A and B are shown apart, each in its own frame.
Chain A
Amino acid sequence: MEPVVYTIQDGVTFLNVPDDRFTTALLSVNFYVPLAMETAGTMAMLPPLLRRGCRAFPSMMAIGRELDRLYGASIGATVLRADEAQALNLTLACLDDRFALEGAPALADAVELLGQLLFDPPLENGVFREEDVEQERRCALEAIAAEINDKRRYARNACERLLCENEPFAVPLHGVKEQVETVTADVLTAAWREVLQTAPVRILYQGDPNGVPIAKAFAERFAGRQVKPLPPMVIGAAKPEVAVQCERMDVNQCQLVLGLRSSVQEGHPLHDAMWLAITLLGGTAHSLLFMNVREKYSLCYYCYATAYTKKGATLIDSGVEPDKAEQAKAEILHQLERLKTGDFTDDDLENARRSLLDTLLSYEDSAMSFVTWYIVDGPIGDGRSPRDVRESIQAVTKEQVLAAAKTLTLDCVYTLMPKEEIA
């Protein structure tokens, strides 16, 4: 399955995936803006702010009731990471008209509602309503503060910031408190107008072929804009010395996160080999990390490696007993060394490959995963489908995996530790 790509204009694409296997149609609109400390909080507030109302349905309650009437259609409004850009995302999921009761179709009305939310918000004196902005700012600040509630995510974010210090990649996706506090209705209105006029847009439709004309007409509303391309990704390298950061909090478990850098990045010939290498290291329940750190030494419940392959950044994270953090770190580094030196069997490699190939194939049977693949790929992504990547992964050799793995360098170690160390 490959989407049919229509270029509405330069920087505005419509990816159409006619597919009658699902009960629900998806229509997703994504505006891409560069991740920057000065704007991230403002931009992240835009999707939920727009989701609050339009002139025809000026309150969350009115929108909620309209969506209920449309067979419980949903409009998600969020921000996703697309490497060093924010994807400002509004995604409609609506029951396919084939299943509408008593001939009362919903898709056209739901798509119209999505359009009104984007283009026709209930402004007052030309700007967003003060009460909406206030509530949204409060929600944004509370969500930023609540990062601390999820210790694993908190630790991963902290390690990411350490790993890519001073690069756009390290900017928190939802911005920072100090900036969000300064956001006003004027700032948000200007940002909204700017995004509508200049941000690269990707629109995706996946659903019954009968819905295609509705989706296409929607996409064409984005013609005639002055799109500004996104800046290229910042090329980073590992720090000369491994950075170590330890934070203490009233927790029971130690969160251990290792950050790695690599020169293999977007467009590099070993890009897909790196993907396979990281899968072999820690991407499955039979990976080197899982089979050793967890199964052999019983040090943890989870130990995974996740790569932002385009950025050349990898995180390895595990939750361990505080007094065994050093042992776990040593074992993780030992497994990394095994990967780099080829100390694994051909079966290990083929198992990792099979698992990755299987996962890539499964994207086609999950509408939301398939659409998300193209959202996070972003307008400066290479546009490859899961099937394209699959073909490439099939051809990766052991030598290429080794060559990619050899470029992995430990850059930083972050630990979240209990206040009183149990030793």
Chain B
Amino acid sequence: MKQTTFSLVTGETVTQVIHPSGLTILVYPKKGFRSAYALFGTRYGSVDTVFERDGKRIEVPAGIAHYLEHKLFENEDCDAFVRYAATGANANAFTSFDQTAYLFSCSDHFEESLEILLDFVQKPYFTEQTVQKEQGIIGQEIRMGDDDPDRRVLFNMLRAMYVVNPVRVDIAGTVESISHITPELLYDCYYTFYNLHNMVLAVAGGVTVEQVLAVADRMLQPAKPLQLDMPLPDEPEAAGDSRIEDTMPVAAPLFCLGFKCPMTASYLSAKDQLAAQIITRVLSSSSSPLYTALMEKGLINDSFGGTFFDGRGFAMFLFEGESGEPEAVEAALLTEIDALRQSGVDAERFAELKLALYGRLLRQLNAAETGAMMLMDNYFCGRRPGEVIDACMALTPEDIDERLQRWLRPEQRTLSIVRGE
């Protein structure tokens, strides 16, 4: 068992353990906390629909990672929610493009809840009948998404912007695609991706390393060595389509303007991510001249905002909001980006935004939930605990300017609009 301790700027520590079972365990004890938050995650999400298993190429229906997440809660003898009911923990799970995670938060009976988490995720049980039962439930989850214009405007944008990258397909799949899911396909996915070498356990809050390891030693079954090939999709640098439109019952048109960032590795570096956040704020936060100008012209309202969104094999800038004239917002953003690329980031503005970034990174350490999420995300991206804050301190204006030349080019953009009927 290899154990390493990392110090954070708050004076707290994170302990990383490579458990003999193959699982990496991260524990972030928070002094004075009663509650704890645990995440058991795998590097497996909706984008992983083609893979090799025992030398055989397998292609699975869209939405299967999310379906598997639902079905794993049901073991042969009992539903995991019912087991958690006896501990009082609040349990849940989520599937994203590139991760699936099972989680609970609790203020009491931590060890019992952790035992349940480690147990049910390691015990898949899929039959024709149980798989069938979930069609109705997930069908309604998909229908709920179909009626959500914020989701539609984003997923339409992804579908138009990406040409081959599977982030262009909705995480939950469609009512049609999930109807092809069988127990055999679920087992294929499970035994490929739910190998402890491909997973992480991240715990934060009122816990000790010893407490977590005692349960882990008892519950984890040694995993076979794993060779997983997750190649980068051969995605062109330019956006597939520069425009996509749809209609739904909405009050005013919703828009999502995305800019695809070219990827040279599976994940961006910490520096890339931080630079992207600074760029986003220079361009579109309420402290930017563009925000003020667009607000004065009545082209945006306070729902407008820019974010940076990245994961395994993808990264993008998103500028979203509600506007009577989304094309005018797009034009204004393109002009602003061009000007920023020419001038570079203002030194004083850069210094302010770096302080702001530092403060926001520290805020993530406030709660057990955000602490555990941060540990898991950074682990999957190959970053040590605390690395992002160090990278923030080392950031220079040149880091921003260099990236401005590669990112946010007009040909990398897609404007998605959802208009009322």
Interface flag for A263 (CB, 8 Å): no
With A143-B301, A149-B251, A354-B88 known as contacts, the answer to whether A361 contacts B356 (CB < 8 A) is no
List 9 A-B residue pairs with CB atoms under 8 Å apart, sorted by A's residue number.
Answer: A23-B366, A68-B353, A252-B143, A253-B143, A286-B82, A290-B81, A321-B139, A359-B90, A365-B206
The answer to whether B105 touches A362 (Cβ under 8 A) is yes
The answer to whether B302 touches A139 (Cβ under 8 A) is yes
The CA-CA distance from A147 to B322 in the complex, in Å, is: 13
**B contact residues vs A (CB 8 Å cutoff):** 9-10, 30-35, 79, 81-82, 84-92, 105-108, 133-141, 143-144, 146-150, 205-206, 248-252, 254, 281, 285-289, 291-292, 295-296, 298, 301-303, 322, 349, 352-353, 355-360, 362-363, 365-368, 421
Q: Mark A59-82, 1 if CB is under 8 A from B, else 0.
A: 111011101111111000000000
The answer to whether B147 touches A72 (Cβ under 8 A) is no
Q: Mark A123-165, 1 if CB is under 8 A from B, else 0.
A: 0000000010001001100110111111110000000000000
Chain A count of residues within 8 A CB distance of the other chain = 72
Contacts of A299 in B (CB 8 A): 136, 140
Interface hub of B10, B107, B303 (most chain A Cβ within 10 A):
B107
The CA-CA distance from A153 to B240 in the complex, in Å, is: 35
The answer to whether A65 touches B362 (Cβ under 8 A) is no
CB distance from A187 to the nearest CB of B (A): 20
The answer to whether B107 touches A362 (Cβ under 8 A) is yes
Contacts of A99 in B (CB 8 A): 9-10, 362
CB distance from A362 to the nearest CB of B (A): 5
Top-6 shortest CB links A-B? A64-B287, A71-B359, A298-B136, A72-B356, A354-B88, A145-B251
Residue of B nearest to A298 (CB): B136
The answer to whether B88 touches A61 (Cβ under 8 A) is no
The CA-CA distance from A364 to B140 in the complex, in Å, is: 35
The CA-CA distance from A347 to B85 in the complex, in Å, is: 9
Interface flag for A184 (CB, 8 Å): no
Contacts of B288 in A (CB 8 A): 61, 64
The answer to whether A351 touches B85 (Cβ under 8 A) is yes
Interface flag for A6 (CB, 8 Å): no
Interface flag for A355 (CB, 8 Å): yes
The CA-CA distance from A167 to B111 in the complex, in Å, is: 48
Q: In residues 286-303 of chain A, which contact B (Cβ within 8 Å)? A: 286, 290-291, 294-295, 297-302
The answer to whether B85 touches A354 (Cβ under 8 A) is yes
Interface flag for A217 (CB, 8 Å): no
With A135-B296, A149-B251, A301-B138 known as contacts, the answer to whether A65 contacts B34 (CB < 8 A) is no
The CA-CA distance from A317 to B391 in the complex, in Å, is: 46
Q: In residues 45-95 of chain A, which contact B (Cβ within 8 Å)? A: 48, 59-61, 63-65, 67-73, 93, 95
Interface hub of A59, A61, A300 (most chain B Cβ within 10 A):
A61
Query: When the two chains form the complex, which single residue of A72, A146, A290 contacts B355, counting CB atoms closer than 8 Å?
Result: A72
CB distance from B282 to the nearest CB of A (A): 10
The answer to whether A351 touches B363 (Cβ under 8 A) is no
The CA-CA distance from A417 to B87 in the complex, in Å, is: 39
The CA-CA distance from A290 to B85 in the complex, in Å, is: 13
The answer to whether B252 touches A142 (Cβ under 8 A) is yes
With A61-B286, A150-B148 known as contacts, the answer to whether A250 contacts B85 (CB < 8 A) is no
Interface hub of B82, B135, B357 (most chain A Cβ within 10 A):
B82
The answer to whether B367 touches A366 (Cβ under 8 A) is yes
Q: Mark A351-376, 1 if CB is under 8 A from B, else 0.
A: 10011011101101111000000000
CB distance from A129 to the nearest CB of B (A): 12
Q: Mark A409-421, 1 if CB is under 8 A from B, else 0.
A: 0000000000000
The CA-CA distance from A361 to B87 in the complex, in Å, is: 14
Contacts of A301 in B (CB 8 A): 137-138, 140-141, 144
Interface hub of A21, A253, A365 (most chain B Cβ within 10 A):
A365
Contacts of A347 in B (CB 8 A): 85-86
The answer to whether A65 touches B352 (Cβ under 8 A) is yes
The answer to whether A149 touches B295 (Cβ under 8 A) is no
The answer to whether A362 touches B287 (Cβ under 8 A) is no
The answer to whether B366 touches A285 (Cβ under 8 A) is no
Query: When the two chains form the complex, which single residue of B292, B303, B322, B360 contacts A72, counting CB atoms closer than 8 Å?
Result: B360
Known contacts A138-B301, A252-B143, A358-B90, then 14 further A-B pairs from the complex at CB < 8 Å, ordered by chain A residue: A22-B366, A60-B292, A72-B357, A143-B303, A148-B250, A149-B251, A151-B148, A291-B82, A302-B144, A355-B90, A358-B89, A358-B106, A359-B90, A365-B367
